[in-house]
Structure 1
């Protein structure tokens, strides 16, 4: 009997020890798992931070690539910050200042109505024209047609063929929502309408966006001015195109330029 009780007590103590040992093993196992999970979380966090830094660096790198260098002014650009492309004889007494966007329908309307008169006055040495190229439509509707066309026009200026290419662009202007000028092959194709313009140098200038920064500079200058729409047309500093109650006509423009010679 005593032996049985003693045996039972011994078995009970052993079971208790085993239970304690098993509990310690379970606790140690849980601790190991917890440590493993913490370590894994730390690794994930570190990798996540690393990935974030990588994204920032990569993004920064992309921004640096997109960040254009110093503006490359077109040959013969004049005016403040060389933001003006001049056409006509510098000695002409009257100056027509035109702010234009190659995607702007109103600009095409002005050009198509006044082109012959302006060129005739320029050819006679009575008028010089100063063009300021802006990118309002790109900003308003999205796309790159205003920018790419203006860059291509600046490339044409390098070749001494700005006026002719400028006219071709307006004669072939797509509908305002159509960003056809955003496609550089189209701009190069249109250069074929200007004798001697479609050269390797012109193509490289268009494809490289050589004057993109200059175009942006020109647009920023427009934004700092008091003008808010294109076309803005000034004759000797006076706005002559925005008054709908007294609309400008080619005949009126010719008379005003002629009067300026007196």
Structure 2
């Protein structure tokens, strides 16, 4: 074999070896990229899991500290704010959120009838406060308004302040009740409520943990939403035929035995 042919074969072998080395290097880089992407994916997933874990159990409405029930609260764990004669034969249980538009609609429609029946001693109402809209929309207005209502309960002014909050309810997306100044300003519409004691109670969030406890009871109860309204244990809000006149008739009939 001539020297020229041997040189040509050697060059071909070298070129083939070089090509194989290039292929190995490319394969090595490809595997490195795959592993790197996998690591990034795992780290990303870990970050997401970390965020979820970090936030788990923090849906407490921003409440902390001891559970302080407002004066006169009753029922299990003292979570109900009572209005009306305790001896009335009919009990209306209302789960409500001061930011909830449907709750306002219920109050606007039934307010005068409920007042008439409670004033006559025929009906007692148990108001149970919820922070559903805070959870759904974000913000703290549901909790802070509920705390302020509990502060009004301490002063014996809950029914009047309750009505004022609904009559001045902001749009659902406007978290105006998150401002203590707004809640205190509304207290001026209720005779005798705007005191330093009330203001301090509102600013300190004295009953925040109690509100969170009430909301927890609502969640565990499996209620469909707010308002959830029961007359002597029967869901009347789900009754499409219910009207203020029908509610009055039912309460009056029950009072007669």
Same fold? TM cut 0.5:
yes
1:132 aligns with: 128
Q: Distance in 2 between matches of 1:225 and 1:259?
A: 29
Give deviations 1:4-53, integer Å, cap 9, x for gaps.
xxxxxxxxxxxxxxxxxxxxxxxxxxxxxxxxxxxxxxxxxxxxxxxxxx
2:238 aligns with: 242
Structure 2, unmatched stretches of 5+, are 1-53
Q: Give 1:164's match in structure 2, choosing from 156, 160, 163.
A: 160
Contact 2:151 2:207 in 1 (8 A): yes
2:85 matches 1:76 = no
2:242 matches 1:256 = no
TM value normalised by structure 2: 0.75
Q: Give 1:105's match in structure 2, choosing from 85, 91, 101.
A: 101
2:222 aligns with: 226
2:92 aligns with: 96
Q: Give 1:147's match in structure 2, choosing from 137, 143, 149.
A: 143
> Which structure has the bigger radius of gyration?
1
CA separation of 1:67 and 1:180: change in aligned 2, threshold 3 A: closer
Q: Distance in 2 between matches of 1:158 and 1:192?
A: 16
Structure 1, unmatched stretches of 5+, are 1-58
Q: Once the 2 structures are TM-superposed, how far is the Cα of residue 67 of structure 1 from its aligned partner?
A: 6.6
Q: Once the 2 structures are TM-superposed, how far is the Cα of residue 225 of structure 1 from its aligned partner?
A: 0.3
Q: Distance in 2 between matches of 1:141 and 1:260?
A: 40
Write out the 4+ residue segments of structure 1 that deviate beyond 3 Å after TM superposition: none
Q: Distance in 2 between matches of 1:235 and 1:75?
A: 24
TM value normalised by structure 1: 0.73
Q: Once the 2 structures are TM-superposed, how far is the Cα of residue 228 of structure 1 from its aligned partner?
A: 2.2
Q: Once the 2 structures are TM-superposed, how far is the Cα of residue 168 of structure 1 from its aligned partner?
A: 0.1
Q: Distance in 1 between matches of 2:153 and 2:197?
A: 12
2:205 aligns with: 209
Count of aligned positions: 197
Q: Distance in 1 between matches of 2:224 and 2:185?
A: 32
